[in-house]
Amino acid sequence: MNISEMLARNARMFPEDIALVERVPSKNIRKEITWKQFDERVNRLANALITRGVGKGDRVLHWMMNSINWLEAYFGIVRTGAIATPLNFRFTERDFNYCADVAEPKAVILDEWFCDKVRAVSHPLLPVQMCIVNGKAVLPGMENFEDVIAESDPSSVKIEIGDEEPCGLYFTSGTTGVPKPILLTHKNMECAAITEVVHGLRRPGDIWVTLIPFYHTGDWIHWLASLILGEPSVIQGDKITPIAIFEVIHKERGAESLFSEAFFERKIKSVTCFQCPIGCSRVVRTKEGKTDITTEGPEYETIYAFGSNCGIDDPNTIIEADLLCEEYGLDTISCGVVLSFIMECSEKIFFKWSL
C-alpha cells in the first residue's frame, strides 16, 4: 500500500476524524482538516495536474513552506504517478535554476513568496501557465492554488503505481557544493512509515507535532507514521523557538516531536551549516562526575543513531559517543547504526559477540 493509498484508506475508514491541524500563532490562525477533506482536495489537485499534461514519471517542483497545503500538493503530485520534488525554502534563484535543470520539471507548485524568484529565472521548461501559486500574490499567467482545486474534479484518480516506482526527488541543501538529488521510491516511503510504528517510535493515539521543514526527510518520514496509523498531527507554521515548541505541545496535546529537552538544557549556543534551515547542531557542555565535555553536536542524526537505535536514553553518553567519533574520524550515523545492528543480532542470537 503506497502512501497515496494510505490517505485514501484513511478517508474511507476515518472520514470525519481530524487529519491535520495548522497553527500560525503570530497571525492567530488555527485551522484543521479531516481525512475525507484532505483526500478530496488531493483528488482535485491530481485531476487538475492531469488535465494540464502532468503524467506518470514527470517531475513537479514543490517549493512551499510547511502547511496543510504543502501536504495536499505533495500527495496531489504523487497520486498522478508523477515525482514530487520538494525544494529548500532558502534556495536562491541560482539553486532553483540548477534543480530545474536536473529535474526537468513539467510544472511547479509554489508559495507566493517564491514567485519573483521563479519569474527571475524564467526557466525554459517552466512556462508561467504551469506555475500554481499558493497565496494571493499570483503573477500574471500563473494560477491560484485554491482556484485550481475549487474548479477541478473530486473523483478518485485511477492510476496504478508500483512499489518500486519513484515517489520523491529530494535535493540536499547544498552545504558542500551544489544541491545533490536523491530519488526515493514509494516502497522507501512505505517502509519508513512501517518502521516508525513497528519499532515502537509511534503508537495509536500519539499526536505528532511537525517542527522541521517537510522538504527535509527528517520530519516528513516521522509524519508518515501518523498517515499509516490514521492519527492527527499538528503543523507549526510559525518561527520555531523553545517557547513555541512547548506551547504547541501543551495546547494541542502533542505526544511526539523531533526535539530533545535534554539537549536544550546542555546547550551553549546553536550552529548551522550554510543555507540549511534546520540548525540541528549545537555547542553543548555536559558535566557529570569526572566527565566535563564541551563539544559541537550532537546533531539529530547522531541522537537517533546512538540514542533510540542503541536503546540509550542518557544524553551524556550520547554526547561522549559523538565526541569520540569526532576524535577518531568516524561518521556518527554509520557508527551508531552499525553498533545497533550488532546489538540486535546479538540479542537475537544471530551470532555471539561479547564486548
Residue 70 confidence (pLDDT): 96
DSSP state at residue 288: E
For residue range 201-237, list pLDDT tens digits in order: 667 888 888 888 888 877 788 899 899 999 999 998 8
Residue 93 confidence (pLDDT): 92
- Residue spans of the domains in the chain: they are 3-251, 260-347
Residue 201 confidence (pLDDT): 62
Q: Going by CATH, does the domain composed of 3-251 fall within 3.40.50.12780?
A: yes
Of the candidates 113, 139, 147, 131, the residue with the CA atom closest to the CA atom of residue 54: 131
pLDDT at 354 over 70: no
pLDDT at 164 over 80: yes
Q: What are phi and psi of 89, to 5 degrees?
A: -70, -10
Mean pLDDT of the chain: 86
Task: Report the distance separating Cα 193 and Cα 169, nearest Å.
Answer: 18
Write out the E strands in the chain: 18-24, 29-34, 59-63, 83-86, 107-111, 131-134, 143-144, 166-171, 181-185, 208-210, 233-236, 256-257, 267-271, 281-288, 291-296
- Give the number of other Cβ atoms within 10 Å of residue 219's Cβ: 22
pTM summary value: 0.79
pLDDT at 353 over 70: no
For the chain, the straight-line distance linking the first and the last C-alpha, in angstroms and rounded, comes to: 41
pLDDT at 123 over 80: yes
**Beta-bridge partner residues of 284:** 267, 295
Task: Report the distance separating Cα 307 and Cα 141, nearest Å.
Answer: 50
Q: Place 267 in a pLDDT band, splitting at 50, 70 and 90.
A: low
Return the residue matching grid coordinates 513552506. Answer: 65
Of the candidates 244, 233, 235, 184, the residue with the CA atom closest to the CA atom of residue 214: 235
Q: Give the CATH architecture of domain 260-347.
A: Orthogonal Bundle (1.10)
